[in-house]
Amino acid sequence: MTHSDCSRRSFLQSSSAATLAAALTVGHTSSAAVPTAPDTLKGRLYKTLKIGMVRVDGSLTDRFRAAKTAGFDGIELNAPGADVAEAKTAIKESGLPVDGTVNSTHWKIRHTDPDPTVRAKALESLKGALRFTHAVGGDTALLVIGHGKDGTEEEIWKRSMENISLAVPLAAELKIHIAIENVWNHFLYDHQGDSKQTADKFVKYVDELDSPWVGMQFDIGNHWKYGSMGDWIRQLGPRIVKLDLKGFSREKDSFTKIGEGDLDWADVRKALLEINFKGWAAAEVGGGGPDRLKEVSDNMDKAFGLV
């Protein structure tokens, strides 16, 4: 690991710690407040989930309370589209912080689109997500950078790099991380390839954006079909600002519950300890009511040895 990598990791950890500290000030009792130990992830991972997973009746506050009761330490909202005042009320009344957001338009309005007017809209959407995240006290805005169908790899790389770079100054000003997610978007990996692929292109892409405010919201389940997730974690190292979680079965060629499937969870835990990861881990699986949310929370605990 280079000196710059070490500096990035230190920077990102201090940022995550600051977000957690802010969460605790609103009366949130977090399982992540447990002192860290060198050989376990207990006290290192803060559990969060996507707002769309919380399927309970009532207000946003009711949905926040359901997530907290199920054992989560935070929640991610979709932005633009969410209401700042409503979110702040839910945070205050439930004691559950918003740790980050998911850019709500990134699949349809893409930074890789051949049309510059569409790319301009994608930029404004990303900036809106950054502003919303800052307003509600989060520290990451998840971004899918585009889709391989929009052109050649060279064209997509250039378009998205130029467009996202225009949002980096605002991210730095607001101290919000642009968190790039690895998804099945036919870019930065071979969608028809085998299971021996590496994270080389993701590393190169993040490094070319050249900012401590740009990193990966690394989805552990998404690319198990294409490579070793433990090795990808080691390769991405300090570029990982946050985790997304789901399982995957190569045998069935399908996603699974967290901790299930044939994904090597033991090696994932080992790799996260090796890179000294400390931060938020977001469930991204099928949601439901209180019982299902508790199941997801428990599955996270088991997969990462948090109990």
> Is 90 exceeded by the pLDDT of residue 14?
no
| pLDDT (0 to 100) of residue 39 | 83
Does residue 17 contact residue 278 with C-beta atoms inside 8 Å?
Answer: yes
> Is 60 exceeded by the pLDDT of residue 69?
yes
Does residue 255 contact residue 232 with C-beta atoms inside 8 Å?
Answer: no
Structural domain of residue 288, as residue ranges? 3-32+42-304
> Is 90 exceeded by the pLDDT of residue 38?
no
Helix (H) or strand (E) holding 197: none
Beta-strand ranges (E) seen in the chain are 45-49, 75-79, 98-103, 140-143, 177-181, 214-219, 240-245, 247-249, 254-256, 279-283
> Within a domain: residue 285?
yes
Tell me the angle at which helices 153-165 and 200-209 cross, rounded to the nearest 10 degrees. Answer: 40
> Within a domain: residue 37?
no
**244: Cβ–Cβ under 8 A, 6 or more apart, which residues?**
142, 181, 217, 218, 219, 220, 221, 222, 281, 282, 284
Phi, then psi, of 256 in degrees rounded to 5 = -135, 180
Angstrom distances, CA of residue 96 to CA of 49, 229, 241, 299: 12, 30, 20, 20
Torsion of CA 195, 200, 202, 203, to 10 degrees: 140
| pLDDT (0 to 100) of residue 1 | 47
Q: How many distinct structural domains can be found in the chain?
A: 1
> Within a domain: residue 62?
yes
* 254-256 vs 247-249, strand pairing mode: antiparallel
**Residues pairing with 244 in the sheet:** 219, 282
- Residue 307: pLDDT band (50, 70, 90) is confident
> Within a domain: residue 82?
yes
Phi, then psi, of 178 in degrees rounded to 5 = -80, 110
Q: What is the mean pLDDT of residues 188-212?
A: 98
> Within a domain: residue 158?
yes
d(CA 253, CA 77): 29
**47: Cβ–Cβ under 8 A, 6 or more apart, which residues?**
31, 32, 71, 72, 73, 74, 280, 281, 283, 297, 300, 301, 306
Q: What residue type is 220 in one-letter code?
A: I
More confident residue, 17 or 214: 214
| pLDDT (0 to 100) of residue 30 | 44
Q: What is the mean pLDDT of residues 236-251?
A: 97
> Is 50 exceeded by the pLDDT of residue 24?
no
d(CA 271, CA 156): 30
Instruction: Using the Cα atoms of residue 261, residue 196, residue 218 and residue 184 in order, give the sign of their dihedral.
Output: negative
| pLDDT (0 to 100) of residue 147 | 98
> Within a domain: residue 64?
yes
d(CA 281, CA 300): 9
d(CA 68, CA 283): 14
* 177-181 vs 214-219, strand pairing mode: parallel
Residues 266-285: pLDDT tens digits? 999 999 999 999 999 999 99
> Within a domain: residue 130?
yes
Read off the CATH number of the domain in which 183 is found. Answer: 3.20.20.150
Residue 84, CB half-sphere, CA atoms under 13 Å: how many? 11
Please give the radius of gyration of the chain, using alpha carbons only, rounded to the nearest integer: 18
